[in-house]
Structure 1
């Protein structure tokens, strides 16, 4: 059973990214919000899975509805600890002494949405100018999956990304 996509968008993603936008406006764009939702739709069947499952049916390393791996989480955490990121850090942690807790990606949806957005923020290219599924899938494939790819064509993984968005994303992606 998945999380209702409209609820996830309205009650988790919008508030989380709006809070980040108080630090840096670009973090709360409409395209960013749709990309974060699309990521959840694909990575965890919109919240069906809270941990990555390997081929043997056992838990793997990625955590939360955005399936963030611990090294990626550590990388973002380290960025947040720098002076250049103080404004964002205050919006992410709401504490003066944050600690790295990979399991927080599972139990704190607001935090997980912020970390997902920051993963895309750290990509070397700006978000796509369009929020259609072709452009979101291409961007996800290049920067969330870190594939060396041609942005004019969809890989099989990106076609699956689009199918998952349509299946789990409700009216948002139709």
Structure 2
């Protein structure tokens, strides 16, 4: 059933260079090689070769053999629909990226510009009151207490400041 679509002549070579078979009818598409020749045993890293019109030979490395069993009720015999990459193309890199992000304004930007604006409400929870209390109870000289008090007030968000 696929026979008419398989209009290219390919060669097949095992990964170790043995068992070359020429004259295989197949079809090369983007990232795939399809053939009904199941007499070959296609495995990862095996190669399909296609001679193109100008005498150059394209080499495709098998990444997934893609064997499909026959479906007699549909009139389809067994075939390979192998996932391949050109030998001059780099292997695909792992695509698993894990980003653990936490915090009030946490975000991840990969190959992009962050134009977002965030507003985070900070709960006082009395921590600044406790700092003021401990500072007034301390033996720190009064002039130093004043500068420390100013520093504490600088850390308090405007919306959380107490007005006298």
TM-score per shorter chain, which class? Answer: under 0.3
- Higher-helix-fraction structure: 1
Q: Give the structure with higher Rg (CA).
A: 2
TM-score, with structure 2 as normaliser = 0.21
TM-score, with structure 1 as normaliser = 0.20
